[in-house]
Amino acid sequence: MTDSGTLTLTEALRQQTRETHEKLDHYLTNLGLFNNIELYKKFLSLQYYIHRDANNYYHDQTLTAIIPDLINRNRFEKVKEDLKDLKIDIPSTTFTSPNTTNASEAVGFLYVVEGSKLGANTLLKRVEKIGLSENYGARHMAPDQDGRGASWKIFQNSINQAKLDIHTTIKSATTAFSQILAYAKFVTT
């Protein structure tokens, strides 16, 4: 909470996107995507779409002024290396990446992508059981240089201090969770 008793941006995001986030988590959890390499390949294809969509945001000058070390947080090249490790062609569909120059919208999407790194520690332990690691096939799950917790706190503090439109950011994060669910359904059916 801030001094005025209002929610910070990240508190509001967590609260307002909870239902959509849980729906995505429930769907993915029930698929058993970490039970074997073939199922994991579907998860990796999903990661390709997510990080492809986020890629431009990590290079945006307005956003790099808000979020420290933003360009080094980008996982897109690591996802492509993971695909190469497992001899998976770059996924192709008619899905188009979101394109916005609105910082509040972009931060909503980044909130979803950056937040997913917190759970990646647990996922990394699961994929190790099928022969993958942060050096082979699961590079994109490795922690940021500052570590998972510290990196997330830096991200949170940065966006909480930025002058962003909270409603636009929440709407964008909710849309991102829904889009990722659509990608998940596409790659798993």
pLDDT-above-90 percentage for the chain: 82
Query: Any residues with CB less than 8 A from the CB of 137 and at least 6 apart, and which?
Result: 40, 44, 82, 85, 86, 127, 131
**Residue range 108-144, pLDDT digits in tens:** 999 999 999 988 889 999 999 999 999 999 999 999 8
Q: Where are the alpha helices (DSSP H) in 97-147?
A: 103-128
When pLDDT is cut at 50, 70 and 90, the band that residue 2 belongs to is: very low
CB atoms within 10 A of CB 178: 14
Q: Where are the domains of the chain?
A: 17-188
Rounded Cα distance between 10 and 104, Å, is: 12
Domain 17-188 has CATH 1.20.910.10: yes
CB 130 within 8 A of CB 34: yes
Q: What are phi and psi of 84, to 5 degrees?
A: -65, -45
Q: What is the pTM (predicted TM-score) of this model?
A: 0.92
**Cα 145–chain centre separation:** 17
Give Dmax over CA atoms of the chain in angstroms: 53
Task: Return the pLDDT at 145.
Answer: 87
**Cα–Cα distance measured from residue 55 to residue 35, given in angstroms and rounded to the nearest whole number:** 28
